[in-house]
């Protein structure tokens, strides 16, 4: 059964709203009932993901077949390493453990997505104050959840990294790096998060921070300029190695994708100082934005640059929450900031991006 485009967006949006509401109730409650709300928050997301048709998500049918094969082939933990597959060990182990509970593939898919949703809800609980958990979960789902309908293993890794951000804030080095290693068991790209711990220091180092921002921003702008010039004259060297096998239209699309990110983070930097004065940990988010954009420009494979976008989103959401949290500091600017955030989340990420890629629109059920 396939739904219209408009109905599909409504299904996703209200799924996110209801899940975020239950997540907020889970954080606010102190009784044993709170775990019932936690179950509801993750279940509604997992149900939406597990009952969808094979045509929803470019990789879903492949994952479905792979989960079926692993469930039928692996009968002991020792056999997991013998799989002739490039799939990470952690993902295979997760399937194996779930297969001990059930051999029904849609139910295994349900549990995998419940696993992802659990890290999102728990990550929001640790990172945001109670009254902002609803917005944190909702915003995160808007930009991230539908990506998990394609890049399932990476989605698990990103959700785990999101959970680990609170360890950076609390300066729990061992806990953070153990969590990163755990995320790498599901997708190797999680290694990009390892250096993030060193992008924040409790001691204020304004001079070093200023040099970092000016230097890296200058490099980013220079790379963008030379990248566009190289593409204009058909030069296949320099940073263009990542675009060498793409046609002209795709090259332009790839370059514009990076420029779009730059456009969307510029307004955040306009109000950067006020945000850092309100909460010094916000400095970490801004440093991370710059470094991620820098790494994307230097990567040699366009697929890596695209995948890094979703790690990039890890810090866009907390910054958005910080704007809402500190609205009194922005006075008349606040309405423009809020409009900007809403335009980014709803029009750009939720509607524009997902309508054009990933085959998540229209939604269908089997």
Neighbouring C-beta atoms of residue 296, cutoff 10 Å: 23
The predicted pLDDT at position 286 comes to 82
pTM: 0.84
Main-chain dihedrals φ then ψ at residue 2, nearest 5 degrees: -110, 140
DSSP summary character for residue 352: I
The predicted pLDDT at position 21 comes to 96
- pLDDT in 10s for each residue of the chain, 366 residues: 888 988 999 999 999 999 999 999 999 988 888 999 999 999 999 999 999 998 888 888 888 888 888 888 777 776 666 666 678 888 988 988 898 888 889 999 999 999 999 999 999 999 988 889 998 999 889 888 988 888 899 999 999 999 999 999 888 999 999 999 999 999 888 888 888 888 887 665 555 556 655 665 565 556 555 555 555 554 444 343 444 444 444 444 455 555 666 666 777 777 778 888 888 888 888 888 777 776 666 655 555 666 677 777 778 888 888 888 887 777 777 777 777 777 777 777 777 777 766 788 889 987
The predicted pLDDT at position 223 comes to 56
The predicted pLDDT at position 159 comes to 94
* Range 35-49 burial, b when 16+ CB lie within 10 A, else e: eebbebbbbbbbebb
CB distance 290 to 212 below 8 Å: yes
Six-digit token string for 303: 């697929």
Six-digit token string for 247: 């046609």
The predicted pLDDT at position 248 comes to 47
The predicted pLDDT at position 246 comes to 46
CB distance 139 to 100 below 8 Å: no
The predicted pLDDT at position 202 comes to 62
The predicted pLDDT at position 215 comes to 62
The interaxial angle of helices 282-298 and 248-270, nearest 10 deg, is: 160
The predicted pLDDT at position 11 comes to 93
Which of 95, 91, 114 has its CA nearest to residue 42?
A: 114
- The stretches of the chain forming alpha helices (DSSP H) are 5-28, 34-50, 60-73, 89-99, 105-127, 133-144, 152-169, 173-184, 206-232, 248-270, 272-278, 282-298, 302-325, 334-342, 354-356
The predicted pLDDT at position 237 comes to 40
First-residue to last-residue Cα distance in the chain = 6
CB distance 297 to 226 below 8 Å: no
The predicted pLDDT at position 242 comes to 42
CB distance 193 to 165 below 8 Å: no
Residue 287 CA from chain centroid, whole number = 17
């Amino acid at each position: 059964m396939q739904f219209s485009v408009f109905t599909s967006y409504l299904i996703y949006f209200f799924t996110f709203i209801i899940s975020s509401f239950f997540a907020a109730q889970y954080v606010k409650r102190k009784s044993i009932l709170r775990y019932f709300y936690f179950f509801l928050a993750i279940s509604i997301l997992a149900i939406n993901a597990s009952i969808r048709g094979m045509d929803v998500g470019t990789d879903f049918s492949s994952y479905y077949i792979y989960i079926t094969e692993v469930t039928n082939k692996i009968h002991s933990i020792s056999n997991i390493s013998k799989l002739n597959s490039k799939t990470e060990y952690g993902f295979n182990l997760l399937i194996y453990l779930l297969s001990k509970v059930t051999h029904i593939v849609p139910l295994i898919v349900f549990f995998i997505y419940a696993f992802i949703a659990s890290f999102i809800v728990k990550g929001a609980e640790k990172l945001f104050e109670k009254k902002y958990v609803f917005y944190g979960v909702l915003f995160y789902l808007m930009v991230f959840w539908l990506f998990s309908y394609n890049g399932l293993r990476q989605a698990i890794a990103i959700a785990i990294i999101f959970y680990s951000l609170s360890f950076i804030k609390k300066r729990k080095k061992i806990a953070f790096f153990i969590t990163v290693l755990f995320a790498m068991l599901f997708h190797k790209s999680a290694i990009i998060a390892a250096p993030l711990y060193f992008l924040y220091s409790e001691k204020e180092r304004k001079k070093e921070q200023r040099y970092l921002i000016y230097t890296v921003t200058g490099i980013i702008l220079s790379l963008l300029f030379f990248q566009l010039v190289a593409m204009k004259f058909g030069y296949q060297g320099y940073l263009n190695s990542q675009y060498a096998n793409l046609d002209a239209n795709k090259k332009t699309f790839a370059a514009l994708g990076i420029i779009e990110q730059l456009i969307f983070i510029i307004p955040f930097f306009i109000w950067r100082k006020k945000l850092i004065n309100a909460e010094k940990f916000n400095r970490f988010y801004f440093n991370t934005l710059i470094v991620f954009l820098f790494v994307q420009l230097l990567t040699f494979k366009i697929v890596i640059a695209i995948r890094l976008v979703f790690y990039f989103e890890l810090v866009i959401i907390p910054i958005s929450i910080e704007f809402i949290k500190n609205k009194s500091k922005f006075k008349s600017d606040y309405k423009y900031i809020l409009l900007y955030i809403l335009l980014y989340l709803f029009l750009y990420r939720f509607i524009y991006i997902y309508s054009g890629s990933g085959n998540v629109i229209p939604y269908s059920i089997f």
